[in-house]
Amino acid sequence: MRLALPALAAPLLLAACATSRFAGYGTPTTLTCVPYARAVSGIELTGDAWRWWDEADGLYPRAHHPVPGAVLVFRRHGAMTAGHVAVVTRVLGPREILVTQANWLPGRLQRATPVLDVSPANDWTSVRVWYAPDHEPGRTIYPTDGFILPARPRLATVPATR
C-alpha cells in the first residue's frame, strides 16, 4: 500500500499543474461570450462582441439603462480586442447589476457577476466588473456602448403542449 501513494501522487500533481488558475471561479466552458449571450438572451446577432451595438441598430431596441435579459456591450479595450458581451440577470440598483457571461475569466462561465456603473453621466458607458480571484471589483474601467434589449424577453418555462 505504501507504493500506491507515490504512484498516485505524480498524476494528481500533474493534473493540478494543468488546471486553470481560475478553476474555482465559475463553470468550465468552451463557449465564448458571443454564442453564450446569443443563447441566453435570444438576441440573434453574430460577429465580434464590440460590433453588436451597431449591428443591433434597427433590429433591437438599445438603451443606456439595464433590464433583465438585456445584453451589455463592451467596446474593444486593451487586450480585449473582440470586445465582450454579458447578459443582465438582475438589476440591483441604478448603478449595479448582475450578469451571466462566458469567457470573462478564460474558459469559465460565470453567473451573478456584479457590474458597477462608474460613468460620470450615470449612463453605463464606463463599468467595473467583479474580479472573483480578488473578491472585489476589478481595477480596470471598461468602456461600453449600452444595453441591447431583447425583442421579447425569454420565457423562464416552456409552454405545455397538447
Position 21 confidence tier, pLDDT thresholds 50, 70, 90:
low
Q: pLDDT of 84-97, one tens digit each?
A: 999 999 999 999 99
Q: pLDDT of 71-84, one tens digit each?
A: 999 999 999 999 99
Is residue 130, in this structure, part of any structural domain at all?
yes
Q: Which residues pair with 72 in a beta bridge?
A: 86, 147
Residue 71 and residue 43: Cα distance in Å, rounded?
8
Is residue 131, in this structure, part of any structural domain at all?
yes
Element (H, E) at 55: helix 52-56
Which CATH number belongs to the domain containing residue 83 in this structure? Answer: 3.90.1720
Is residue 125, in this structure, part of any structural domain at all?
yes
**Average pLDDT over every residue of 99-115:** 95
Is residue 96, in this structure, part of any structural domain at all?
yes
Q: For the chain, what is the domain count?
A: 1
Is residue 26, in this structure, part of any structural domain at all?
no
Is residue 6, in this structure, part of any structural domain at all?
no
CB 116 within 8 A of CB 124: no
pTM of the predicted model, to two decimals?
0.80
CB 104 within 8 A of CB 111: no
What range does the domain containing 49 cover? 39-148
Residue 96 and residue 93: Cα distance in Å, rounded?
5
Is residue 29, in this structure, part of any structural domain at all?
no
Element (H, E) at 142: strand 142-148
Is residue 111, in this structure, part of any structural domain at all?
yes
